[in-house]
Structure 1
Amino acid sequence: MGQFTRNTILVAFVAMSVSTAYAFDLDIRGEYRTGSEQYRSRAKIANQWSNNVGASLEAGVFNGQGSLNKFKSDFNEVEGWYLYKPNTAVAFIPGADWTWNTSGSTIKPFLRVNWAFAPTWRADVRARYDHNNYDSVTKWHMPEGQSYSSSNDQWQFDFWLTKWIGDKTAIEYNYAWNKKDDSQFVYNNGHTTQYLHNLKTSYKYMPTVVPYFEVGYLGHTADLNNDQDEWRLRIGTVFTF
């Protein structure tokens, strides 16, 4: 995708959100990964319209390794979804993400279901399939001098459990499980499956300002030769306009 096309999408989405929506969210977040010592940041704008259609635009930045000395585009993502609520407790949310970076683009269709099973509790599940529109190359378990090329698609299954404490504080636990669609590819742990644990706490400082903090365990670092555990620390704020 050309730079002009990307910029057109960004400008059109922001203009649409500001001009037609009654409110939209701006999520600004910073991140640090302990094992690989990487810094990242992200900005995301999202809106849910009155017709139950929602969309978001996300831009990720790589800020350096070992120190904050870079400002390099990491990824960009557009997401769209539709919210269907057969009753007040259950919602079905089909949608898709479209992500692109220097390697190419990825389409990620998903179905998410949430259930408010108690006044201050909610459970969510999501199944998503990530299809890369480009090939990746691996030498994993290949004969000397040979490599293997494929789209390296994967499945991701998520479970969230959210608890509200009063009318300002929320605690959210997320478990994610990934599986390679092609067994020739492996994750950083040397296997075709991996998992993630993430705990998030948010506090409604003001009706339009919600800071949050996350800590996640990602398994091993992004280098197969580095066996350090990777912990991910995030701090951010959601602003509603």
Structure 2
Amino acid sequence: MQAVQNKLALAAALLAVTAATHAVDVDVRGEYRTGSEAWRSRIKIGNQWQNNFGASLEAGMFNGKGSLNEFKSDFNEIEAWYLYKTSPDVTVIPGGFLTWSSAGSAIKPYLRVNWAFAPTWRADVRARYDHNNYDVGSTWQMPAGYTYYGRNDQWQFDFWLTKWIGDKTAVEYNYAWNRKDDKQFVYNNGRNWQYLNNLKVSYSVSPVFIPYAEVGYLGKVASLANDDSEWRLRIGSVFRF
């Protein structure tokens, strides 16, 4: 409970700072994964300033497996970025994340480019490298009683395609591909790589209330012990002040 209180205090501080300078977005979201039967939620507070700098603070919670019976800290994340327009239709966005949890911290620099190639269409690509500042143990294909330790870093490559329908509805498709930097580590599919397909639909009920829903397919990655397909279902809303 103390960890949750600390997150809320930090979120409130960030909200106060951003509200004093420009508009602020508060994104609240719930999530359920079908294969692992895991429930999660998170709150994210972010702001895009007029000087092209942006930042956000995210706090994630794990809410239980099989039922909503827990409320414990999952992760904390700060993101910062800068918008650099190379042309009226193309924007280059260097940025990065600082993530921390009970396991340790990680830094995740990235480079993102978006292209508004038509009046109601936009495409984004992003390359990100996730570096853990702590060692992780792996027993994958190790002799009995032996554990391999390493940083378990990974690459992530994303592609987004967004279509606006009218002035209220947006449909976004996201494909993400991850690869472990150290072949001794594997994802729950037993491979050094995994992928994600995600579809998101949002609707602007008003300028300050934008609900959305997402469905994502992560492949057969529920756990190494079985090959259950992992579908990720999300419902959330952005409150814009």
What's the CA shift for 1:15?
2.5
Counterpart secondary structure, 2:123: strand
Q: Tell me the CA shift for residue 220 of structure 1.
A: 2.4
Alpha-carbon distance in 1 for matches of 2:158, 2:208: 28
Query: Structure 2: how far apart are the matches of 1:46 and 1:8?
Result: 15
Q: Are 1:57 and 2:57 counterparts? A: yes
- Superposition pairs for residues 165-204 of structure 1, below 5 Å? 165-204=165-204
- Matched residue, 1:111: 111
- Number of the residue aligned with 1:93: 93
Other-structure match for 1:146: 146
d(CA) in 2 for partners of 1:172 and 1:79?
21
Q: Structure 1, residues 138-161: CA drift from partner, whole Å, max 9, x if none?
A: 011112211100000000000000
Q: Root-mean-square deviation (CA), in Å?
A: 1.7
Q: Where does residue 237 of structure 1 map in the other structure?
A: 237
- Deviation of 1:14 (Å): 2.6
> Normalising to structure 2: TM-score of the pair?
0.95
Structure 1 residues 41 and 5, CA, compared in 2 at 3 Å: closer, same or farther? closer
**CA-CA distance at 1:24 after TM superposition:** 0.7
Q: Is the 8 A contact 2:199 2:215 kept in 1?
A: yes
Alpha-carbon separation, structure 1, partners of 2:146 and 2:236: 44
| Ranges in structure 2 where 5+ consecutive residues have no aligned partner | none
Aligned-partner residue type, residue 138 of structure 2 = T
For residues 9 and 94 of structure 1, the distance between their equivalents in structure 2, rounded to whole angstroms, comes to 25
**Post-superposition shift, 1:3?**
9.8
- Report how far residue 49 of structure 1 moved: 0.5
How far is 1:12 from its partner? 4.0
Where does 1:66-105 land on structure 2 (aligned, <5 Å)? 66-105=66-105
TM-score (norm 1): 0.95
Whether 1:216 and 2:216 are equivalent positions in the alignment is yes
* Residue in 1 that maps onto 2:137: 137
Pairwise CA distance, 1:216: 0.2
Residues of 2 paired with 1:69 and 1:183: CA distance? 36
AA aligned to 1:18 is A
The count of residues paired between Structure 1 and Structure 2 equals 239
Structure 2 Cα separation of the partners of residues 41 and 204 of structure 1: 22
- The 8 Å contact of residues 175 and 195 in structure 2, kept in 1 or not, is answered as yes
Q: Aligned residues: percent identity?
A: 67
CA distance in 2, matches of 1:37, 1:116: 38
Kept after mapping to 1: 8 A contact 2:160/2:174: yes
